């Protein structure tokens, strides 16, 4: 038998309060407030052409379909969607969610990571992951999951950089956009979080950046 948790209590569910960082803040998705910014960021002329490649939906080049997509995610509780808002410009630049929420067992996943081109190769995406991880471990979760298409090299690199551990591959796990998908699983545990948190916070610190560019990589702090 695995370790016995004599004092285990179920984790709490995410709430709608804003998670605030130095570069970005995570607001509960509000289609009425965020739609115009997100449309420009995710489907505008400067959007990442590869943004939708490994997501189960998109591209959403029709504005009415895009608005329905946002409204559906706003209404959902699992996945629980946040909008990523730039602290300097107050512009919404992406969305991200907590999903596969099993509070009774303390298990939750970060998913639907949809970051605009303006967020890529900046500290903003890393800070979004940090804010979510800090929040879920504070809510009492024991296990934070990250899953991605086995062909999605960018997502796999990100998981490893953030400090998730590779656990294995579910072969022929699902069919997405008419293609068979193998899914790679990663996790981070509550026992690992203090060390990961320290690394995130040292990496995000003011003295680790010069003219917006990192001095040391995140892995250097672990």
Domain span at residue 176 reads: 19-221
In a domain, 4, yes or no: no
In a domain, 6, yes or no: no
Number of domains in the chain: 1
In a domain, 34, yes or no: yes
In a domain, 11, yes or no: no
Residue-wise pLDDT for 164-203, tens only, equals 999 999 999 999 999 999 999 999 999 999 999 999 999 9
* Residues 101 and 12: beta-carbon distance below 8 Å: no
Q: Which residues pair with 214 in a beta bridge?
A: 209
Q: First vs last Cα of the chain: how many Å apart?
A: 31
| pLDDT at 2 > cutoff 70 | no
CA 22, 27, 29, 31 dihedral sign is negative
CA 44, 47, 50, 51 dihedral sign is negative
CATH number of the domain that residue 174 is part of: 3.40.630.30
Confidence of residue 98 (pLDDT cuts 50, 70, 90): very high
In a domain, 9, yes or no: no
Residue-wise pLDDT for 41-70, tens only, equals 999 999 999 999 999 999 999 999 999 999
Compute how many other C-beta atoms are within 10 angstroms of the C-beta atom of residue 23: 20
């Amino acid at each position: 038998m695995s370790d016995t948790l004599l004092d285990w209590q179920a984790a709490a569910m995410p709430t709608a309060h804003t998670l605030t960082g130095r570069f970005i803040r995570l607001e509960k998705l509000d289609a009425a407030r965020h739609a115009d910014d997100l449309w420009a960021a995710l489907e505008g002329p400067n959007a990442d052409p590869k943004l939708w490649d490994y997501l189960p939906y998109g591209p959403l080049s029709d504005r009415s379909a895009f608005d329905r997509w946002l409204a559906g995610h706003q209404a959902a509780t699992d996945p629980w969607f946040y909008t990523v808002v730039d602290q300097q410009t107050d512009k919404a630049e992406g969305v991200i969610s907590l999903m596969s929420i099993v509070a009774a067992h303390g298990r939750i996943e970060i998913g639907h990571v949809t970051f605009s081109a303006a967020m890529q190769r900046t500290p903003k995406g890393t800070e979004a992951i940090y804010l979510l991880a800090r929040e879920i471990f504070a809510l009492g979760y024991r296990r934070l999951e990250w899953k991605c298409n086995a062909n999605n090299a960018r997502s796999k690199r990100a998981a490893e950089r953030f400090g998730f551990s590779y656990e294995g591959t579910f072969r022929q796990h699902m069919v997405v956009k008419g293609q068979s998908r193998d899914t790679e699983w990663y996790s981070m545990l509550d026992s690992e979080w203090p060390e990961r948190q320290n690394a995130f916070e040292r990496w995000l610190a003011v003295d680790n950046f010069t003219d917006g560019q990192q001095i040391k990589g995140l892995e250097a702090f672990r």
